[in-house]
């Protein structure tokens, strides 16, 4: 009998150990003994990652969308039963008050370096944090952005919530779709020079070497003129845009200033009148949820390619 009990106890311990998973989150290793049951995601693109993996039943809410962006019909349906706990970045009290056990966010995607909401400040409350891979450049070194950054987040979420097969299947489908599209893409041979305009009039806020649009522009046959700018999303001077002579300007559409207003600002800015994109009226609009890491990135590459090279 003792031998049987010992065997059963060992089996239970073994199965418990198997359930424990470790994932790399920026410069940390985070251990999960079981899938989170009360998760919160910040921002529209991170929330879509959760939804595309079928994790809504593991969520108690989301944050950081309506303060800047609107939900399209697809997203509204996806989060219909979930509350938005904060219109912008949540406070620590909001997350603790929701009895959360998991926060999916990123640096400048719901957390700020030195802010009140960080993995370290949430740890005493039993809230584990997984950080968006693209955002890791804010706290340390990382390789130049690639589509693998987005794939990595989906695969890690798959491990955390123990839906690995679903995540692997989804990522494999994305990889295949993108490879098939890019292999058949007809370009002029030389990458088009592209500038990403997010916002700002005195100084433009744009995508640098570590921001997702750089990877998507390259997949679509272009080159971000800010590829040498060692930042993710940050401000530059207009002189750098003029010097880069972009042939296409990609507009990130969100917030109170519309894409049309952003295009008009660039067209009517005397300092930009001689850049090829303005002369030839070449603009491509990406929605915020397409321009940031998430499930709509493959569609965004196709949209960019259509704007670069035609249908």
In terms of domains, do 226 and 300 share one? yes
Q: Is residue 139 part of a domain?
A: yes
Q: Which is higher by pLDDT, 80 or 24?
A: 24
Of the pLDDT bands very low, low, confident and very high (cuts 50, 70, 90), residue 4 is: low
Task: Tell me how many domains the chain contains.
Answer: 2
Predicted pLDDT of residue 28? 97
Q: Is residue 6 part of a domain?
A: no
Helical pair 44-52 and 147-160, crossing angle rounded to 10 deg = 60
- Residue 291 is part of which domain span? 186-309
In terms of domains, do 191 and 165 share one? no
What's the pLDDT tens digit per position in 190-238? 999 999 999 999 999 999 999 999 999 999 999 999 999 999 999 999 9
Predicted pLDDT of residue 14? 46
In terms of domains, do 110 and 161 share one? yes
In terms of domains, do 197 and 122 share one? no
In terms of domains, do 270 and 246 share one? yes
Q: Could you give phi then psi for residue 35, rounded to 5 degrees?
A: -65, 140
Distance CA 171, CA 155 (A): 7
Distance CA 254, CA 68 (A): 7
What's the pLDDT tens digit per position in 102-130? 999 999 999 999 999 999 999 999 999 99
Task: Report the candidate in 304, 257, 302, 267 with the shortest Cα–Cα distance to residue 285.
Answer: 304
Of the pLDDT bands very low, low, confident and very high (cuts 50, 70, 90), residue 1 is: low
What's the pLDDT tens digit per position in 253-290? 999 999 999 999 999 999 999 999 999 999 999 999 99
Distance CA 201, CA 87 (A): 25
In terms of domains, do 168 and 41 share one? yes
Q: Which residues are paired to 284 by β-bridges? A: 250
What CATH number should be reported for the domain holding residue 299?
Answer: 3.40.50.1980
Q: Is residue 275 part of a domain?
A: yes
Predicted pLDDT of residue 188? 84
> Of the residues 175, 202, 233, which one is the last residue of a structural domain?
175
């Amino acid at each position: 009998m003792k031998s049987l009990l010992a065997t059963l106890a060992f089996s239970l311990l073994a199965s418990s150990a198997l359930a424990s998973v470790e994932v790399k989150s920026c410069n940390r290793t985070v251990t999960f003994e079981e899938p989170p049951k009360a998760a919160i995601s910040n921002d529209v693109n991170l929330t879509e990652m959760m939804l595309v993996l079928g994790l809504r039943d593991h969520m108690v809410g989301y944050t950081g969308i309506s303060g800047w962006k609107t939900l399209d019909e697809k997203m509204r349906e996806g989060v219909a039963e979930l509350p938005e706990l904060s219109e912008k970045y949540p406070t620590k009290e909001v997350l603790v008050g929701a009895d959360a056990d998991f926060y999916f966010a990123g640096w400048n995607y719901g957390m700020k370096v030195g802010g009140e909401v960080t993995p370290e400040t949430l740890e005493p409350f039993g809230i584990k944090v997984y950080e968006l891979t693209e955002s890791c450049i804010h706290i340390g070194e990382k390789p130049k952005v690639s589509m693998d950054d987005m794939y990595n987040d989906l695969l890690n979420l798959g491990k955390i919530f123990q839906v690995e097969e679903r995540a692997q299947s989804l990522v494999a489908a994305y990889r295949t779709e993108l490879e098939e599209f890019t292999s058949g893409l007809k370009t002029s041979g030389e990458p088009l020079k592209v500038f990403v305009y997010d916002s700002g009039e005195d100084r433009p806020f744009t995508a640098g070497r570590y921001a997702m649009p750089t990877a998507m522009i390259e997949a679509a046959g272009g080159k971000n003129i800010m590829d040498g700018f060692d930042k993710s999303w940050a401000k530059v001077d207009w002189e750098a845009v003029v010097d880069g002579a972009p042939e296409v300007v990609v507009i990130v559409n969100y917030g109170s200033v519309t894409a049309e207003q952003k295009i008009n600002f660039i067209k009517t800015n005397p300092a930009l009148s001689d850049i090829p994109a303005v002369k030839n009226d070449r603009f491509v609009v990406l929605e915020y949820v397409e321009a940031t890491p998430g499930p709509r990135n493959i569609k965004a590459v196709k949209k960019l390619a259509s704007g670069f090279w035609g249908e």
